[in-house]
Amino acid sequence: MGALCIFVGCGYLGFKVGDQYRQRTEILRYLQNGFNLLETEISYSSTPLPLALTRIAEKMRGLSQIPFAHAAKLLKHNQGLTAAEAWEEGVSCLALEFPLSREEISILVLFGHGLGCSAREEQMKNIVLAREQLRMAERAAEEARMKNQRMWQYMGLCTGGIIVLVLI
């Protein structure tokens, strides 16, 4: 019974670590979709930023909606907070929920600096730049996933097996 518990526990840990790689690519992909939606909201319907962010957050799934939802909430309720600050808060909220790399956080934070305080064309350029950077980060994350996900899954199971064998 104990052996089974150790084996399953180690396997679960391995799968959990491996799953983080999948989640990272998923979050980066959804964030790109979110930026696409934001581009549409800004360029075609000129929606005010809090409303646009709320709409995007409603359309998104999972962890990737956190920065949009949090920034929209802050912009609605906290008077005197700039869009960049609200977005940064949202990004740090996401970073608390999921271990993003420093590079990914800096891409998102830099994107926030141009948000809501410049002309429409400038914001478009900013969104395109951030999306391109996110695409590159996603590609890197995908490569890391291909390499490491299966490795962590097998490692968890094998470590469990070895511990069980040593303890028997």
Partner 1 sequence: MNIELIFQIAGIGILTSIFHTILKQAGKEEYSVIATLAGVSIALIMVVKLIAELLTSVKNVFFLQ
User: What residues line the site for partner 1 (CB under 8 A)?
Assistant: 147-148, 150-151, 154-155, 158, 161-162, 165-166, 168
Instruction: Check the CA dihedral 70-128-36-23 and report its sign.
Output: negative
For partner 1, the closer of residues 34 and 160 by Cβ is 160
Whole-number Å distance between alpha carbons of 156 and 165: 14
Q: How far is the CB of 117 from partner 1 (least distance, A)?
A: 44
Nearer to partner 1, 136 or 146 (CB): 146
Q: How far is CA 143 from CA 22, 45, 163, in A?
A: 11, 37, 30
Determine the 3-state secondary structure of 123 from DSSP: helix
**Residue closest to 90 by CA, chosen among 115, 107, 117, 65:** 65
The CB-of-113 to partner 1 minimum distance in angstroms stands at 36
Q: Which is nearer to partner 1, 47 or 159 (CB)?
A: 159
Q: How far is the CB of 62 from partner 1 (least distance, A)?
A: 27
- Smallest distance from partner 1 to CB 162, Å: 5
Up-side HSE of residue 84: CA atoms within 13 Å toward CB? Answer: 13
Query: Which residue number, 70 or 145, has a Cβ lying nearer to partner 1?
Result: 145
